[in-house]
Amino acid sequence: MGKRNRAAVVVLGDIGRSPRMQYHSLSLARQAHLNVDIVAYGGSEPHISVSEHQSIHIHKMPQWPTFPRNFPKILRPLFLILKPIFQFLVLLWYLCIKIPAPDCFIVQNPPSVPTLVAVKWASWLRHSAFIIDWHNFGYTLLALSLGRSSPFVSIYRWFENHYGKMAHGSLCVTKAMQHELSENWGIKYEHELDISKWPLFCMINLLNFSGLHHSRKSMMISKNLNEPYGLCDCISNGLLRADDNDPNLTPFTERVGTDIFLKENRPALIVSSTSWTPDEDFGILLEAALMYDRRVAALLGEDDSTGDEVVWEGIRDGKEFLYPRLLFIITGKGPEKEKYEQKIRKLNLRRVAFRTMWLSAEDYPVLLGSADLGVCLHTSSSGLDLPMKVVDMFGCGLPVCAVSYSCIKELVDVEKNGLLFSSSSELADELMMLFEGFPGRCDSLKSMRSNLMERVSSVRWATVWDENAKPLIHKVISERST
């Protein structure tokens, strides 16, 4: 059977929230010169480079409905059993009927059930190659809610293992996962695609982050700053109180004529992207923010009635020091968002403010490139995957403080591009250390950003994809077409 010059990218999830699969789609179209059919759910819009590419076609599947509020509890088990059956049939319909026959299917895992089963069946029926991009293990995510001893977790793992072995090629995000698949799952690699360390955003040229001006940041977020999670906070009641209607003043910049200047007393901007799920303990960040708030007050001998200034000065060991206010912007959607927003309202923070936002694929990297620090709370259900949000932050030249777990050092080089923490107290220590003297000093923060920008300028996704993914894809396609 001859080559069809087509590839299908399969995601049983929101394609707008699957950046790595969007990058694969762009590389397949641009570098492998293939027509690409993306089969996924709708929800969030993908990046404009994907949605407007002439060779990329997005097919949005219907989703299984959520529980109605008054749905009888006795029927919920039946509802949950029918869900994967519905998903399986919809997937088969799209992969076998709705889209043209591809040379290969590239599927994101997890979820594994029924995705791997459906894609394997479709690849057999359409004589196509079957490639899995392993982001994590699905059975470990299921175990977060059911427990490792659950028979459903064991069944799920069997499906993931059985159909994983049937793939004609595999890609994964870490060397630790590659070793696990090779040694314990019997899945061998001929090409390593360790693309987890590379600045993905640079591939699609979203911005020249080294030249990004903070005025863009100010315009983008200022409209949301007057919506505090309490009666008042240090942003709404301090910085913007007198300047709401002045277009030349923002919390971060001041415009004089045609020139825009960064304020010396601006708050530090910290970004954390989260899916608001149990594998990311957002409580750690809240506790660390509270500790920072109280520690600065204690150092300066202040009580809770003070704190109207933007930056506090003091003397410690004969040395002048400065600590800024901190503005945390939390991006993402997920089930636990409302719960934590309620907790934020009760904290009564004086020197720290929180805002939650959902940004478009175009605005998100603008925020990352404008921030002073990123925080990652991902802990990994398997201990073998890496948070792609950190990859995005690094691609924008943003240093990161990340939760420490088994293979995170494959990504975070401590004191070179970020720091690791295991508790809220450790994160608070790092915030105190990194932002002492902000914005003029902060040598550690500046050094890490400099290291990242040097790497961003020398490494691109396209190069790594060409060297690793492209040969594997061409190989499996050639084998299936002969």
**Fold agreement (6-198+460-481, 209-456):** yes
Please, are residues 202 and 393 in contact by the beta-carbon 8 Å criterion? Answer: no
| Per-domain boundaries in the chain | 6-198+460-481, 209-456
| Model confidence at 208: pLDDT above 90 | no
Structure tokens at 406: 């088994």
Contacts (Cβ under 8 Å, ≥6 apart) of 443: none
Peptide bond into 439 cis (omega under 30): yes
Cα dist from 91 to 56, 133, 156, whole Å: 19, 17, 18
Percent helix, strand, coil in the chain, to 5, is: 45, 20, 40
- Name residue 329's beta-bridge partners: 271, 355
282 by Cβ neighbours in 10 Å (0-12 / 13-18 / 19+) ranks as: buried
User: Which of the listed ranges 63-67, 167-171, 195-199, 346-350 does the model predict with the highest average pLDDT?
Assistant: 167-171
Round to whole Å and give the CA distance between 215 and 278: 35
| Model confidence at 19: pLDDT above 50 | yes
Please, are residues 291 and 428 in contact by the beta-carbon 8 Å criterion? Answer: yes
Lowest mean pLDDT among 64-78, 346-360, 430-444: 64-78
Round to whole Å and give the CA distance between 154 and 8: 29
| Model confidence at 427: pLDDT above 50 | yes
More reliable by pLDDT, 471 or 277: 471
Q: Which class in CATH covers the domain with range 6-198+460-481?
A: alpha beta
Structure tokens at 466: 């060409």
- The matching CATH number, chosen from 3.20.20.70, 3.30.420.40, 3.80.10.10, 3.40.50.2000, for 209-456 is 3.40.50.2000
**Average pLDDT of every residue of the chain:** 80
| Model confidence at 457: pLDDT above 70 | no
Q: pLDDT tens for residues 236-290? A: 555 444 455 566 666 677 777 777 777 777 889 999 988 777 667 888 999 999 9
Q: What is the pLDDT of residue 202?
A: 41
Q: What is the DSSP letter of 280?
A: B
Q: Which helix (H) or strand (E) holds 129?
A: strand 129-134
